[in-house]
Amino acid sequence: MKNDFSQYTEQYSADLTRLCMSLCGNKVEAEELFQETWLKAIRHYDKYDKTKPFDKWLYSICVNTYKNVLNSAYRRLQYSFSTSEESDNFFNSIPEIDNTNRDDYYELHAAIRSLSKKKRTVIVLYFFKSYSIADIAEILNVPEGTVKSRLSAAKSEIKRRMTCE
């Protein structure tokens, strides 16, 4: 297990970090989600079906942990940066951003952050992780129709926010 797992951590840590940041919106909670996800993956590695892709299994753990632990009633997630430097670093890390579109990225990001956790999770997995509807349904353990519905509603809400504000 040790060799398998070290290979998995090398291969998937960067993507898992981006997923955690996309879901949580701030560095501290993303780091907590990242650590909790790997801890659960290690604890439950014996339940992993090696005939299936490891990343789907790992991201399922991440999304479920996000829903169950980090998004509890006493901890409503608000998107915030600790410093303006952290904010600038985040937005500068977006590929091919130029100053003419910079405000659009802020608006889009704010619109995504304002979505409910269910809609935001589907948007992140579909657009930022490039998963198919079927893959997202498997990761979230919901029917494909539910994924399609959430995706459609999320896109409509983002479009409405982007055109109205």
- Give the tens place of pLDDT for each residue, 42-65: 899 888 888 989 999 999 999 888
Q: Are residues 74 and 107 in the same domain?
A: no
Q: Are residues 37 and 64 in the same domain?
A: yes
- Give the tens place of pLDDT for each residue, 68-91: 764 553 344 344 556 667 656 655
Domain presence at residue 60:
yes
Residue type, 17: T
Domain presence at residue 88:
no
Total domains in the fold of the chain: 2
Residue type, 110: A
Residue 145: its pLDDT value, please?
95
Q: Which domain holds residue 35?
A: 1-80
* pLDDT over 90 at 146, yes or no: yes
Q: Are residues 74 and 33 in the same domain?
A: yes
Q: Determine the Cα–Cα distance for residues 91 and 83; give it in Å rounded to an integer.
A: 13
Give Cα separations from 111 to 81, 93, 156, 163, 164 (angstroms).
16, 19, 11, 11, 11
